[in-house]
Amino acid sequence: MNVADVALVVCPACRGPLEFRGRTNDRGGTLASGVLQCHDCGAAWPVADGLPHVYDPAAVRGSDFLLRFVYDWIAPWHDLSVRFVLPILQSESATRARDGYMERLQLCRLAPHEDGRPVRILEIGIGGGANLPLIERDLPSDLADLEIWGVDLSPGMMAQCRRRIRGTRFGRRVRLMLADAHALPFPDASFDRVFHVGGIAGYRDPRLGLAEMARVARPGTPIVVVDEQLDRARANVIHHLLFRAITIYDPHPHVPVEEIPAHAVCDESTQVSRFYYCLRFHVPAPPATSASPSRAAAPRKESSSMSPSTAAGGIADIVRPEQLQALKSAYDDAAMTAALSVPLPAMYPRAREYVDAIAHAFYAAPADAPSPLAAPDRERCLIGILAIRGATRNLAIHIYSALMLGISSTEIAHVLLLTGAYGGVDTLAHALLTAKKTFEVLARLGSGAERPTPAVVLSAFAAEIPA
């Protein structure tokens, strides 16, 4: 890493700009020793032996502290064990998993930026650098202006990575730092690809780690996360025991779909080997805004400067008329009732009577005892109640029901706006983000090849929207 690279690094405490103060190794300005000083808060982050330490040691606690110690200890043998021991444990080559997640990074689609900025790839938890040869293999041959940034918390693993790239031509493209995945030292939307392999289950806060990945990724770029999950369809008793042994630190190894940010879109969740999943998601690009032809649009701050009514209007435009029509054409009241009423009683048999009572009173009342509320009014009330209670997936289900009953997305947005006016700014922000995510899922399903029946919609909600 050299002095010019410091321009991309920000203070992890306040995200202020940093300036290198210290000694360089050569005319190219390669960092040797000194500090990265923050202009805003004054924090000084040490640079030792050419490696910036851009994290707060006091924040490394719990599982992060323990696993850093473990990785420091096993660093000399880690890559060898992954290469030779892991295939024996899971009864298949590690190559399958690596090829599976590298394919989902879509490196072959990278192209030079028109404004001359380098194409940048970030690997969080770079470890010993085992993925660097795969990146080199999959990059377009004509992509000259490229930077690969790698961060890790383990000095031992970072030392292995530095040995791997020392003296190699490809290593000149690599920038390394010790940094905490919960507070990445980069500005928003800095990277064209972001990925992490093999450690998020041990993060002290996986939700924050995923949010940081989404923050530093450019809109639309694939964000790929890989970690342990047992493929139960292909696992025998021995595999179960061995998998439990290597994931003893995690009581429930699984794909953390429920942890991705509400504004992100889950593209894919799949097994890439008997012991590993691959999760791919992205952050959608913000809606384009038109500037007045007579003068340039004034710069504005992030979403905090946007009025609630503007935000509500923006989410109301996500589902296009043809997508809504596709959803309505595949909708059926009986199918919706079945999709909603079967899973809960199956998991909790005592809930059967409760579910039946609600269905009878509000959804399927006989003609001689009509529900006090018409169906559209019932959904309007439920959306308001669920929004003020901070619901997510349940709110999404009733937004979907409201759309199917003919309530427009604009009216739904304004119900949420009215609810937020009384519930407070946190309630409003949460409700609008949930509605945005709901509309994005419905828009995608309405444009897809699969018929978006209620069962399909509810399955998508279960996979992409937290309970």
Task: Provide the pLDDT confidence category of residue 105 given band limits of 50, 70 and 90.
Answer: very high
Nearest to 6 by CA among 132, 186, 181: 186
pLDDT of residue 426: 66
Nearest of 105, 147, 129, 114 to residue 9 by alpha carbon: 147
Tell which residue, 439, 438, 420, 437, has the closest CA to residue 429: 420
CATH number 2.102.10.10 given to 58-282:
no
Q: Residue 313 class from Cβ within 10 Å (0-12 exposed, 13-18 middle, 19+ buried)?
A: middle
Cβ proximity of 428 and 409 under 8 Å: no
- Among residues of the chain, what percentage have pLDDT more than 90? 45
> What gap in Å lies between CA 11 and CA 448, rounded to an integer?
42
pLDDT tops 50 at residue 36: yes
For 118-177, the pLDDT digits (tens) are 999 999 999 999 999 999 999 998 888 999 999 999 999 999 999 999 988 888 899 999
Q: What pLDDT, on a 0 to 100 scale, did the predictor assign at position 359?
A: 57
Q: What is the pLDDT of residues 280-293, one digit of tens each?
A: 999 998 765 444 44
What is the pLDDT of the chain when averaged over all its residues?
84
* Region 392-415 average pLDDT: 88
User: Which residues of the chain does CATH 1.20.1290.10 include?
Assistant: 306-464
Tell me which of 423 and 118 has the higher pLDDT.
Answer: 118
Q: Is the pLDDT of residue 255 over 80?
A: yes
What was the pLDDT predicted at 299?
39
pLDDT of residue 316: 67
Q: Structure pTM?
A: 0.63
Nearest to 143 by CA among 115, 171, 107, 167: 107
In this model, does residue 306 exceed pLDDT 90?
no
The pLDDT score that the predictor gives to residue 292 is 43
Query: Where does the pLDDT of residue 208 fall: very low under 50, low under 70, confident under 90, or very high at 90 and above?
Result: very high
Q: How many CB atoms lie within 10 A of CB 302?
A: 7
Packing angle of the helix pair 375-388, 393-404 (nearest 10 deg):
160
Q: State the Cα–Cα distance between residues 458 and 167, nearest whole angstrom.
A: 53
- CATH 3.40.50.150 segments of the chain: 58-282
Of 154-158, 297-301, 375-379, where does the model show the most confidence?
154-158
Q: What is the pLDDT of residue 130?
A: 94
What is the rounded CA–CA span in Å between residue 281 and residue 247?
Answer: 24
Give the 3-state secondary structure of 113-171.
Answer: CCCCCCEEEEEECCCCCCCHHHHHHHCCCCCCCEEEEEEECCHHHHHHHHHHHCCCCHH
Top pLDDT among 82 and 264 is at: 264
Q: Does domain 306-464 have CATH number 3.30.479.30?
A: no
